[in-house]
Amino acid sequence: MRLAAILCVAAASTAAAVGQWTTIATTAEVSREAGTARWVSWIESATRERCAPPGSAVTEGTDQDFFNCLSHTVHVRNEGALPVQCRLTLDLTAPNYQSHASESAEVVVLPNSRRWVGSVGPTTSQIKSHAVSCVAIPADPAPLAAAAGCRAEVRAQATDYYYPRAAIRSLQEGTVQVEYSTVAGRQWTRDVQVVRSSGVETLDEAALRYMRYQRVNSNCPEQRFRYDVEFKLTPVMRDLYRPQILE
């Protein structure tokens, strides 16, 4: 979402010099479902002339700027009654301006909402393939069956570093319950999934990122466990975006 916002702002601010983004292709919407998860996905491609790549020594919009940019965006819209966790993948024929030949994102989409992942690169960076897969996040997850005597201790870090800036600005708090697997011989987590949503997409996605970087001590490898990730605003966060009162 941030990438698309940046693109829109950049296009609007330089419209007189280099023109706006022009949509050149939009695929038909494809409906999918898996259990109680129902979603629609599609791709949009757009181009823009005289668009200098990030980090280039060329000044965008000048006579020395001969680059053309090509963007691709994979969209997903939740058509079901429950939130869904989706993985979006976009494979490219050539690296984009971030030197990536593939872009992917793990997103949480509330009912009747949409999310996306995008790429911006040269005109040689075409779409090779893409994939969208989703699972429903239950309103009330069933109890997790764990083997007798199995336990896991999360060496939890503070969530401040992972707190989405947009959620801080909106004074949003919440608790996200995630489920994960332990890894044999390691303290890492894998296959992290939201099993109880906070009701805020950005907090749910931040919880996924948070849990992937935590270390876990467990006596049962390859076992599923759950953990509550709490996002609570600190006084410093509240003061950072407190409206200024003019006297």
Q: What's the CATH code of the domain at 180? A: 3.30.2420.10
Contact 30, 42 (CB under 8 A): yes
Give the model's pLDDT for residue 137. Answer: 97
Tokens for 165, please give them: 């800036």
Please tell me the predicted confidence (pLDDT) of residue 17: 38
Query: What does pTM read for this prediction?
Result: 0.82
CA distances from 145 to 18, 141, 150 (A): 58, 12, 10
- 11 and 36 housed in the same domain: yes
pLDDT of residue 9: 34
pLDDT at 8 over 50: no
DSSP codes joined into one string, 23-67: EEEEPPPEEEEETTEEEEEEEEEEEEES-PPTT-SSPTTSTT---
What is the residue range of 157's domain?
A: 152-240
CA–CA distance, 195 with 187 (Å, rounded to integer): 21
Domain check: are 214 and 170 in the same one? yes
**In this predicted model, what pLDDT tens digit does every residue of 31-63 receive, in sequence order?**
999 999 999 999 999 998 777 666 666 555 555
Q: Which of 70-74, 100-104, 148-152, 176-180 is the least confident region?
A: 148-152
Q: How far apart are CA 79 and CA 22, in angstroms?
A: 28
Number of structural domains, the chain?
2
168: burial class by Cβ within 10 Å (0-12, 13-18, 19+)?
buried
Position 247 pLDDT exceeds 60 = no
Q: Most confidently modeled of 15-19, 185-189, 214-218?
A: 214-218
Q: What is the mean pLDDT of the chain?
A: 86
My answer on whether 160 and 104 are in the same domain is: no
* Residue 145 belongs to some domain of the structure: no
Q: Are 136 and 35 in contact (CB under 8 A)?
A: yes
Shared-domain flag, residues 13 and 98? yes
- pLDDT at residue 5 above 60? no
| One domain, residues 65 and 175 | no
Residue 166 lies in a domain: yes
Contact call for residues 196 and 176 (beta carbons, < 8 A): yes
Pair 179, 117 in one domain: no
Question: Is the pLDDT score of 245 beyond 50?
Answer: no
pLDDT of residue 60: 58
Give the range among 15-19, 184-188, 200-204, 232-236 with minimum mean pLDDT.
15-19
- The answer to whether residues 103 and 44 belong to one domain is yes
131-156 pLDDT tens trace? 999 999 999 999 988 778 888 899 98
The confidence score (pLDDT) of residue 13 equals 38
Same domain, 119 and 187: no
Query: Has residue 11 got a pLDDT over 70?
Result: no
Q: Answer whether residue 246 shows pLDDT above 90.
A: no
